[in-house]
């Protein structure tokens, strides 16, 4: 079986007979950036139209009832639905919302509604709460009916034909209108995210396919036939002016193949990473500032798995940074800290405004360089003023074909998993203990990549419940042991009562197993409080490492990957044996 995905290229038409014998990810690919030859789909599903509120749900301005025009009312409901969230109290959110809301008002409404503080949305808010409560209380039959309708829509719009395969579409529903809530301190929070109409939508499909029909009385913005891209539908969103796409599910051939290729590039990095490391160490001594900055940045990306850090337009989004966009204020230099020399203290907001905080010892040369980069600069100045991601990636491309900054994250994540699995798994372990080892290895990667989550709201309670269970199990074990003891005594006296002793022994053993399982579970959960494992599992860890580990240690793959994940990693399940090495 081919283990490289850079094998020779032929068009699919050259090999019509082989396709039925090959798994999809083994089929030959197209050349020249062609992604498909045939693409047919039904277009997007639009958000349901706005239904005006019943008359008894009133809006009050300055204490007086006010009937709102449908457009104004709709935007008001967006706010009403969010009132339990803290951010509706934030000044930026309220200001942006009010400004956009006023744009939807009739001139009459505009002249009356001039102060958000005087708006009373409580009846609307209560109404929606009651609605969602009622939805929960629906009968089985009603729920079943909704489920069936969803299934029908999924069957009609949720799949497409790409070349010879029926593929699942990831997000076939167009995002509904609402109030934008960015992550972190977003300057645009509260702005109105406009309803997308067919006239905003571009359809992409092949010429010889059945072109999707726009809803009656409407037109698409454009129908195009671009087989150099993978998307089916796109539209421009009004908050940032960026393009949104409808694309295929991760289980699709086109995504799976790309994923496979990503890990193959990371494996090629493994083969030359020592050379690259020697090179950037050497470059720390360069007489050129730009090269010193480049080499120190690359060192951080490699050692700490930092993101590249593209430039962002100021004021368009939250103030976050990655490696190349680090500012002087984001690192503190300590010649000595807690007995360690040359310590760098990082403190900045990364992607999704997740805080990155770390204290790391670095080589003396790196430390001296950082002092140099900070010299004569203000806190808000760029640390690497002679560097950006384009420069860095251009350099990386010269070091290895296909190498970019993000490949280091993939490489270091996957190699860490492999190493940790090797260190943490033991033959002695039962399946539960092996899974704990896996989760710990996964966790090491999540920590490296700084994948955090808010501690679950119910965390403390669920921890307590688990502890209660453990205590109960311990008592149960004591009881069982006592019973075993007395059974042994009885057997000695009466003779021939060995059967009772055997069954009591078994009971003790069973309870011990159960207790261990609970304790393992508690450890796992505690260690996982603020760490999200899913992101690395889905995006950074070569799935073949996990497949091989499962095979080697006799752990069912279902314990590691759920159904969706097995679908996404179908290519890896199929091709990795227990000897696979990343």
Partner DNA sequence: CTGACTACTTAGTATGGATCAC
Partner DNA sequence: GTGATCCATACTAAGTAGTCAG
Site membership for DNA, residue 564 (CB under 7 A):
yes
Task: Tell me the sheet residues that pair with 347.
Answer: 357
* Residue 74 vs 109, nearer CB to DNA: 74
Task: Report the nearest approach of DNA to the CB of residue 169 (Å).
Answer: 10
Task: Report the nearest approach of DNA to the CB of residue 292 (Å).
Answer: 17
> Helices (H) and strands (E) in the chain — how many of each?
17, 15
- Exposure class string for 133-162: b at 16+ Cβ within 10 A, else e: eeeeeeeeeeeeeeeeeeeeeeeebbbbbb
**Is 408 in contact with 399 (CB distance < 8 Å)?**
no
Site membership for DNA, residue 294 (CB under 7 A):
no
364's enclosing H/E stretch is: helix 364-374
* Residue 322 vs 487, nearer CB to DNA: 322
* Residue 178 vs 497, nearer CB to DNA: 178
Q: For the window 206-235, what string marks contact with DNA as x by the rule CB under 7 A?
A: --------------------x-xxxx--x-
Task: Report the nearest approach of DNA to the CB of residue 484 (Å).
Answer: 24
Nearest to 299, CA basis, from 233, 215, 387: 387
Residue range at the interface with DNA (CB under 7 A); choices 90-98, 242-250, 376-384, 473-481: 242-250
Site membership for DNA, residue 320 (CB under 7 A):
yes
The residue count for the chain:
582
Token code pair at residue 151: 């299934």
Site membership for DNA, residue 41 (CB under 7 A):
no
**Is 545 in contact with 559 (CB distance < 8 Å)?**
no
* Residue 501 vs 533, nearer CB to DNA: 533
* Residue 247 vs 444, nearer CB to DNA: 247
Task: Report the nearest approach of DNA to the CB of residue 60 (Å).
Answer: 25
- In this chain, which of 410, 418, 439, 442 binds DNA, going by CB under 7 A? 410
* Residue 425 vs 439, nearer CB to DNA: 439
Give the separation between CA 317 and CA 408, rounded to whole angstroms.
Answer: 26
DSSP 48-99: PPP-PPPTTS-EEETTEEEPPPHHHHHHHHHHHHTTTSGGGGSHHHHHHHHH
Task: Report the nearest approach of DNA to the CB of residue 92 (Å).
Answer: 13
Site membership for DNA, residue 241 (CB under 7 A):
yes
Site membership for DNA, residue 42 (CB under 7 A):
no
Site membership for DNA, residue 278 (CB under 7 A):
no
Task: Beginning with the edge strand found earlier in the chain, give each strand of the sheet holding 39-40 in spatial order.
Answer: 39-40, 159-162, 165-168
* Residue 128 vs 342, nearer CB to DNA: 128
Residue range at the interface with DNA (CB under 7 A); choices 301-309, 369-377, 434-442, 572-580: 301-309
Site membership for DNA, residue 181 (CB under 7 A):
yes
Site membership for DNA, residue 492 (CB under 7 A):
no
- In this chain, which of 196, 308, 362, 570 binds DNA, going by CB under 7 A? 308
Site membership for DNA, residue 155 (CB under 7 A):
no
Site membership for DNA, residue 182 (CB under 7 A):
yes
**Is 446 in contact with 531 (CB distance < 8 Å)?**
yes
**Beta carbons within 8 Å of 416's beta carbon, 6+ residues apart:** 441, 444, 445, 448
Token code pair at residue 195: 């309803």
**Is 219 in contact with 197 (CB distance < 8 Å)?**
no
Site membership for DNA, residue 534 (CB under 7 A):
yes
Site membership for DNA, residue 251 (CB under 7 A):
no
Residue range at the interface with DNA (CB under 7 A); choices 56-64, 105-113, 451-459, 570-578: 451-459
- Look up 540 and say whether it is catalytic: yes
- In this chain, which of 218, 310, 419, 523 binds DNA, going by CB under 7 A? 310
Catalytic residue among 280, 411, 540, 580: 540
* Residue 114 vs 243, nearer CB to DNA: 243
- In this chain, which of 178, 377, 433, 476 binds DNA, going by CB under 7 A? 178
Q: Is 262 helix (H, G, I), strand (E, B) or coil?
A: helix
* Residue 387 vs 484, nearer CB to DNA: 387
Q: Interface residues for DNA in 73-102 (CB under 7 A)?
A: none
Task: Report the nearest approach of DNA to the CB of residue 342 (Å).
Answer: 26
Q: How many alpha carbons fall within 13 Å on the CB side of residue 175?
A: 18
Give the separation between CA 239 and CA 179, rounded to whole angstroms.
Answer: 10
Nearest to 3, CA basis, from 506, 388, 548: 548
Max CA pair span of the chain? 99
Residue range at the interface with DNA (CB under 7 A); choices 209-217, 332-340, 498-506, 527-535: 527-535
Task: Report the nearest approach of DNA to the CB of residue 234 (Å).
Answer: 6
What HEC string does 502-518 produce? HHHHHHHHHHHHHHHHH
Site membership for DNA, residue 153 (CB under 7 A):
no
CA 355 to chain centre: 16
Tokens 């992101």 belong to residue: 535
Site membership for DNA, residue 131 (CB under 7 A):
no
Tokens 């053993």 belong to residue: 509
Tokens 């009622």 belong to residue: 134
Site membership for DNA, residue 350 (CB under 7 A):
yes
Site membership for DNA, residue 35 (CB under 7 A):
yes
Number of residues that bind DNA (CB under 7 A): 84
- Structure-derived torsion over alpha carbons of residues 77, 83, 89, 90, reported in degrees to the nearest 10: -60
Q: Interface residues for DNA in 455-484 (CB under 7 A)?
A: 458, 461-462, 465-466, 469
- Structure-derived torsion over alpha carbons of residues 491, 497, 499, 502, reported in degrees to the nearest 10: 10
Sign of CA dihedral 269, 274, 277, 282: negative
* Residue 306 vs 547, nearer CB to DNA: 306
Site membership for DNA, residue 351 (CB under 7 A):
yes
Active site residues: 540
């Amino acid at each position: 079986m081919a283990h490289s995905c850079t094998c020779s290229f032929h068009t699919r038409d050259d090999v019509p007979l082989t396709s039925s014998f090959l798994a999809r990810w083994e089929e030959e690919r197209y050349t020249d950036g062609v992604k498909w030859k045939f693409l047919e789909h039904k277009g997007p599903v639009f958000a349901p139209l706005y239904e005006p509120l019943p008359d008894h749900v009133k809006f009050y301005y300055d204490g007086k009832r006010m009937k709102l025009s449908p457009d104004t009312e709709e935007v008001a409901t967006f706010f009403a639905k969010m009132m339990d969230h803290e951010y509706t109290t934030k000044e930026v959110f309220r200001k942006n919302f009010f400004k956009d809301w006023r744009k939807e008002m009739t001139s009459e409404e505009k002249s009356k509604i001039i102060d958000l503080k005087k708006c009373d949305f409580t009846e609307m808010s209560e109404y929606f709460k009651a609605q969602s409560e009622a939805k929960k209380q629906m009968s089985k039959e009603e729920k079943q009916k909704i489920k069936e309708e969803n299934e029908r829509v999924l069957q009609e719009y949720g799949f497409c034909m790409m070349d010879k395969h029926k593929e699942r579409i990831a997000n076939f529903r167009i995002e509904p209108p609402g109030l934008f809530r960015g992550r972190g301190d977003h300057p645009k929070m509260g702005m109105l995210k406009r309803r997308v109409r067919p006239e905003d939508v571009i359809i992409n499909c092949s010429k010889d396919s059945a072109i999707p029909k726009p809803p009656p009385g409407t037109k698409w913005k454009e129908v195009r036939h671009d087989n150099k891209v993978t998307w089916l539908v796109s539209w421009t969103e009004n908050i940032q002016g960026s393009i949104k796409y409808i694309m295929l599910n991760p289980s699709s051939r086109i995504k799976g193949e790309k994923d496979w290729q990503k890990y193959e590039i990371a494996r090629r990095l493994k083969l030359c990473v020592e050379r690259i490391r020697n090179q950037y160490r050497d470059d720390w001594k360069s007489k050129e500032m730009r090269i010193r900055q480049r080499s120190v940045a690359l060192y951080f990306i490699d050692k700490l798995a930092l993101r590249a850090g593209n430039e962002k337009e100021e004021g368009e989004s939250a103030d976050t940074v990655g490696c190349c966009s680090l500012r002087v204020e984001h690192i503190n230099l300590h010649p000595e800290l807690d007995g360690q020399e040359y310590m760098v203290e990082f403190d900045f907001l990364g992607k999704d405004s997740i805080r990155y905080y770390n204290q790391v010892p670095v080589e003396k040369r790196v430390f001296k360089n950082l002092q140099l980069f900070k010299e004569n600069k203000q806190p808000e100045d760029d640390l690497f003023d002679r560097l950006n991601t384009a420069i860095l990636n251009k350099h990386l491309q010269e070091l290895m074909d296909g190498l970019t900054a993000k490949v280091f994250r993939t490489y270091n994540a996957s190699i860490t998993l492999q190493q940790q699995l090797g260190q943490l798994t033991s033959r002695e372990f039962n399946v539960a203990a092996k899974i704990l080892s896996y989760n710990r290895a996964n966790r090491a990667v999540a920590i490296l990549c700084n994948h955090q989550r808010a501690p679950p709201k119910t965390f403390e309670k669920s921890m307590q419940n688990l502890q209660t269970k453990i205590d109960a199990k311990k008592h149960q074990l004591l009881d069982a042991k006592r019973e075993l003891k007395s059974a042994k005594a009885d057997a000695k006296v009466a003779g021939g009562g060995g059967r009772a002793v055997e069954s009591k022994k078994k009971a003790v053993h069973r309870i011990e197993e159960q207790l261990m399982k609970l304790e393992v579970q508690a450890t796992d959960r505690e260690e996982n409080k603020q760490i999200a494992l899913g992101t690395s599992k889905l995006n950074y860890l070569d799935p073949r490492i996990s497949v091989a580990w499962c095979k080697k240690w006799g752990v069912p793959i279902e314990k590691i990957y759920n159904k969706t994940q097995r679908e996404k990693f179908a290519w890896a399940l199929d091709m990795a044996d227990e000897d696979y090495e990343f």
